[in-house]
Structure 1
Amino acid sequence: MRQLLISLLVFLNTIFAFGISGKVVKVSDGDSFYLKSGNRTYRIRMYGIDAPELHQEYGIDSKKYLKSIILNKNIDVKVMDEDKYGRKIGKVFYKSKDINLQMLESGNAWLYEYYAKNERKYKKAFKNARENKIGLWKHENLENPRQYRLKHKREE
Structure 2
Amino acid sequence: MAQDISGPARAADGDSLDLSGISVRLYGIDAPELAQSCQRNSSTWMCGKEAQGRLASLIAGRQVVCDQKDVDDYGRIVAACRAGTTDLGGAMIDAGLAVALPHFSDRYIGAEARARTARLGLWAGSFQTPAEYRAANPRPRPRAINAPRVNSPTHLPSPSGVFFRNCKEAWAVGAAPLRRGQPGYRSEMDGDGDGIACEPYRGR
Shorter-chain TM-score bucket reads: 0.7 to 0.9
- State the identity as a percent: 33
Partner residue in 1 for 2:6: 21
Aligned partner of residue 90 in structure 1, secondary structure: strand
User: Separation in 1 of the partners of 2:6 and 2:26?
Assistant: 14
Q: Is the 8 A contact 2:64 2:82 kept in 1?
A: yes
Q: CA deviation at 1:101?
A: 0.6
User: Separation in 2 of the partners of 1:133 and 1:47?
Assistant: 23
Matches within 5 A, 1:126-145: 126-140=112-126, 142-145=127-130
RMSD: 1.4
Matches within 5 A, 1:115-130: 115-116=104-105, 118-119=106-107, 122-130=108-116
Q: Which has the higher contact order (CA 8 A, sep 6+)?
A: 1
Aligned partner of residue 29 in structure 1, secondary structure: coil
Aligned partner of residue 80 in structure 1, secondary structure: strand
Q: TM-score, normalised by structure 1?
A: 0.78
User: Separation in 2 of the partners of 1:81 and 1:59?
Assistant: 24
Deviation track 1:90-139 (CA, whole Å, cap 9, x = no partner) reads 001111221111110111101122211x32xx110011101110112111
1:49 is the counterpart of 2:34 = no
Change in CA separation of 1:72 and 1:87 when aligned onto 2, cut-off 3 Å: farther
- Please list every run of 5 or more consecutive structure 2 residues that lacks an aligned counterpart in the other structure: 38-46, 139-178, 180-204
Q: Is the 8 A contact 2:32 2:48 kept in 1?
A: yes
User: Separation in 1 of the partners of 2:60 and 2:136?
Assistant: 31
Deviation track 1:11-35 (CA, whole Å, cap 9, x = no partner) reads xxx4xx42111111x2110000111
Change in CA separation of 1:152 and 1:139 when aligned onto 2, cut-off 3 Å: same
Deviation track 1:40-88 (CA, whole Å, cap 9, x = no partner) reads x211100000000112121111011001111342110001011111111
User: Separation in 1 of the partners of 2:112 and 2:24?
Assistant: 21
Q: Is the 8 A contact 2:62 2:84 kept in 1?
A: no
User: Separation in 1 of the partners of 2:92 and 2:35?
Assistant: 19
Structure with the bigger percentage of helix: 1
Aligned partner of residue 102 in structure 2, secondary structure: coil
Partner residue in 2 for 1:34: 18
Tell me the number of residue pairs that the alignment of Structure 1 and Structure 2 aligns.
130
Q: TM-score, normalised by structure 2?
A: 0.60
- Please list every run of 5 or more consecutive structure 1 residues that lacks an aligned counterpart in the other structure: 1-13
